[in-house]
Amino acid sequence: MDVIIAGAGPTGLTLAHELALAGVRTTVVERLTERIEQTKGGAVQARTAELLDMRGLLDAILARALPRDTEGGHFGLLPVPLDAKPWRTRHPKPISIPQWMVEEELERAAGVQVLRGLEVTRVDQDDEGVTVTAGSRTIRARYLVACDGAHSTIRKLLGVPFPGREGTYRAVLADIRLSSVSDLVPKQAGHISTLTRQAGEHWGMLVPIDGDRYRFTFGPESDIQTALTAIYGEETRLAEVFNSSRFGDATRQLEQYRHGRVFFAGDAAHIHPPLGGQGLNLGVQDAMNLGWKLAAKLHGHVDVLDSYHDERHPPAARVLHHTAAQRVFASPNIEPDALALRDIFTDLLRLPDTNRYLAGMMSGLDLPGRVPDFDLVTADGPTRLAALLRSGRGLLLDFGEREWPSGWADRVDVVHAKADEDYDALLIRPDGVLCWSGEGPVTRAMTMWFGQPV
């Protein structure tokens, strides 16, 4: 076995997909015997949508997305929608879809077997590989990737500290059905700021899903009817609870994402308050970054594994940073001084430059190396950039008719194209990150990211 993935959440399953695409022998072990249809993450942000699109996975997700025409993302629940359109994306609004549906689609597409009901309880690593005990099985592989979530067993088994801040509140997220509603209950989904409400010490957000179904997030922790009555009045009656979970606002991040032959990704590496729908997205993006690098190492092409930590630690650190700021604005017990700051910040959000900056940050569209998904024409006809990255290989896109070195043909597709763009030539990694655009010899960038030519 080449890679063991612990955890079949969105991070582990994205990684499984990437490794399967690259022909790496992979085993996924998952503690749960079956997927729980529990709503956790509910928003796929624009950059994640672009990455899923690059693998041909987005259409299936869009087909199951909630028919909710959001007005754009938000920062700290402030009432000014974030407009990602200036970032030239085909997905300017967050896509609303329950996390378990994303997981289902990822698992189906990956085509790898998930060994369910196997909990990792022991990890031993040496110079050659990692031995994992999961349930009654002992599995040996060259690498282990811990995608086992916020309470990562593997983090604890390795004794890796998870520094950060304790949570300050506990809240509840539930998928429910209401038998009657008061006028205070939102009639339709709109911008998130129109769906939140506070009454005394209680705060809540009711998102209409379909007919009498709602997604209810509230705090402080109490039983659901009590919170409904407090926030939306006696007339609002609970008929059914489909599922519910508790969450908090602890903020932590690993100092190192690599510990020998063990890598950490997703919530196992970073946790933060669920403000602005970031966690699932960070995990999927961690996996996209790590997958092809593991494959490149295992295929003996190049060892760029340490760049995984270097590239993925900063975006999560940034999410920890901005969710801390958002927490100030979104707090139900906001201080009067912070209230004044919130008013001024709300006005600033109406300025196009400020709005664009925050839209880029919250959607992930401002991450380094992103190339917008533009239209182009190749010898096979009209297409777009994302469609050329389906194979999970590197892409050398030439907007001329030049000859290119052929020693990387087994790893990098060379495509000649015409486009209404100001590019000469682009070298794009399998994870959609631009690594060369004409400065310096292309062979240097090819060797650095794809290894020696054959």
Ligand X SMILES: Cc1cc2nc3c(=O)[nH]c(=O)nc-3n(C[C@H](O)[C@H](O)[C@H](O)COP(=O)(O)OP(=O)(O)OC[C@H]3O[C@@H](n4cnc5c(N)ncnc54)[C@H](O)[C@@H]3O)c2cc1C
Binding to ligand X by CB under 6 A, coded x per residue (else -) over 417-436, reads --------------------
Residue 175 within binding range of ligand X, rule CB under 6 A: no
Task: State phi, psi for 345 to the nearest 5 degrees.
Answer: -65, -35
Min dist CB 376 to ligand X, Å, is 30
Residue 363 within binding range of ligand X, rule CB under 6 A: no
Residue 12 or 76 with smaller CB distance to ligand X? 12
Report d(CA 404, CA 426) in Å as an integer. Answer: 12
And the tokens for 10? 């969105």
Residue 41 or 451 with smaller CB distance to ligand X? 41
| Mode of pairing for the β-strands spanning 381-384 and 375-378 | antiparallel
Residue 149 within binding range of ligand X, rule CB under 6 A: yes
Residue with tokens 């009817």: 225
Residue 120 within binding range of ligand X, rule CB under 6 A: yes
* Burial degree of 201 (CB within 10 A; 0-12, 13-18, 19+): exposed
Give the binding range for ligand X (CB under 6 A) out of 38-46, 234-242, 380-388, 418-426.
38-46
Report DSSP letters for 288-338, one per residue: HHHHHHHHHHHTTS---THHHHHHHHHHHHHHHHHHHHHHHHH-TT--HHH
- Which one of residues 4, 20, 46, 173 is an interface residue with ligand X (CB under 6 A)? 173
Min dist CB 277 to ligand X, Å, is 3
Min dist CB 262 to ligand X, Å, is 13
Total site size for ligand X, rule CB under 6 A: 34
Cα-based distances in Å from 268 to 30, 45, 283, 339, 349: 14, 20, 9, 34, 33
- Residue type present at position 147: C
Min dist CB 307 to ligand X, Å, is 20
And the tokens for 306? 């340490």
Q: Which of 118, 170, 130 is nearest to 8 (CA)?
A: 118
In terms of phi and psi (left: phi > 0; alpha: psi -120 to 50; beta: otherwise), the region of 34 is beta
Binding to ligand X by CB under 6 A, coded x per residue (else -) over 262-301, reads ----xx------x--xxxxx-x------------------
Give the binding range for ligand X (CB under 6 A) out of 63-71, 148-156, 235-243, 312-320.
148-156
Chain contacts with ligand X (rule: CB under 6 A):
6-12, 29-32, 40-43, 99, 119-120, 147-150, 153, 173, 247, 266-267, 274, 277-281, 283
